[in-house]
């Protein structure tokens, strides 16, 4: 009788049903929300930098069934200036943050912000100069696919909308291949 007179009253009363769990990832433990990953990206040479490969390690947290928020660190490795001049060198470091939002079945909208240090460094104190770091703002699409029962592959096509303000200028379109565990 009380609920018929005041239908909004149920909003303020605690209701617990034995054995009821809300849909989604709320039934998982904290550690089952964590996603580990790695990705690889190659960049063309320019007048100041050789051909570079970025190898990144990431860790993400599933906020919901549709969203993942994460951070990562990337090592930048120089591969030389072509087939006649192949040599390996350390070319810097990158710090990454990202968010993936499920758009369709296996397509995700991806956004991220990165800081890239594009010089060789010999000590950690060199990394403390904030003016040497270049920011990157990324937006794009990701496609995830199943590799095995525990490994998922990921291809990303990203646009760096801050690339036009960087010196040396980096390529605005990035393609990355990755794996999550």
Q: What is the pLDDT along the chain (181 residues), one digit of tens a residue?
A: 544 555 555 555 555 556 555 555 456 788 889 999 999 998 877 666 667 889 999 999 999 889 999 999 999 887 776 666 776 777 789 999 999 999 999 999 999 999 998 777 676 676 777 778 999 999 999 999 999 999 999 999 999 999 988 877 788 999 999 999 9
Query: Which of helix, strand or coil describes residue 124?
Result: helix
Instruction: Report pLDDT for 25.
Output: 47
What is the rounded CA–CA span in Å between residue 82 and residue 70?
34
Token pair for residue 167?
């010196």
What is the rounded CA–CA span in Å between residue 40 and residue 37?
11
Instruction: Report pLDDT for 129.
Output: 77
At the top level of CATH, the class of 36-180 is mainly beta
Residue 122: CB atoms within 10 A of its CB come to 7
Instruction: Report pLDDT for 128.
Output: 74
Contact 60, 68 (CB under 8 A): yes
Query: Which of helix, strand or coil describes residue 63?
Result: coil
Q: Are strands 89-102 and 107-117 parallel, antiparallel or unpaired?
A: antiparallel
Closest residue by Cα to residue 135 from 111, 108, 116: 116
What is the rounded CA–CA span in Å between residue 64 and residue 28?
11
């Amino acid at each position: 009788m009380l609920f018929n007179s005041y239908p909004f009253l149920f909003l303020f009363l605690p209701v617990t049903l034995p054995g009821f769990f809300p849909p989604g990832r709320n039934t998982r433990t904290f550690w089952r929300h964590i996603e580990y990953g790695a990705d690889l990206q190659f960049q063309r040479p320019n007048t100041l930098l050789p051909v570079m490969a970025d190898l990144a390690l990431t860790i993400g947290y599933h906020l919901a069934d549709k969203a993942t928020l994460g951070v990562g660190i990337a090592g930048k490795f120089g591969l030389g200036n072509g087939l006649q001049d192949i040599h390996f060198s350390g070319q810097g470091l990158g710090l990454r943050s990202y968010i993936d939002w499920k758009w369709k079945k296996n397509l995700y909208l991806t956004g991220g912000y990165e800081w890239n240090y594009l010089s060789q460094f010999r000590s950690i104190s060199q990394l403390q100069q904030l003016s040497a770091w270049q920011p990157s703002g990324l937006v794009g699409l990701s496609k995830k696919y199943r590799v095995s029962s525990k490994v998922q592959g990921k291809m990303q096509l990203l646009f760096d909308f801050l690339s036009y303000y960087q010196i040396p200028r980096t390529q605005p379109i990035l393609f990355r291949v990755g794996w999550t565990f």
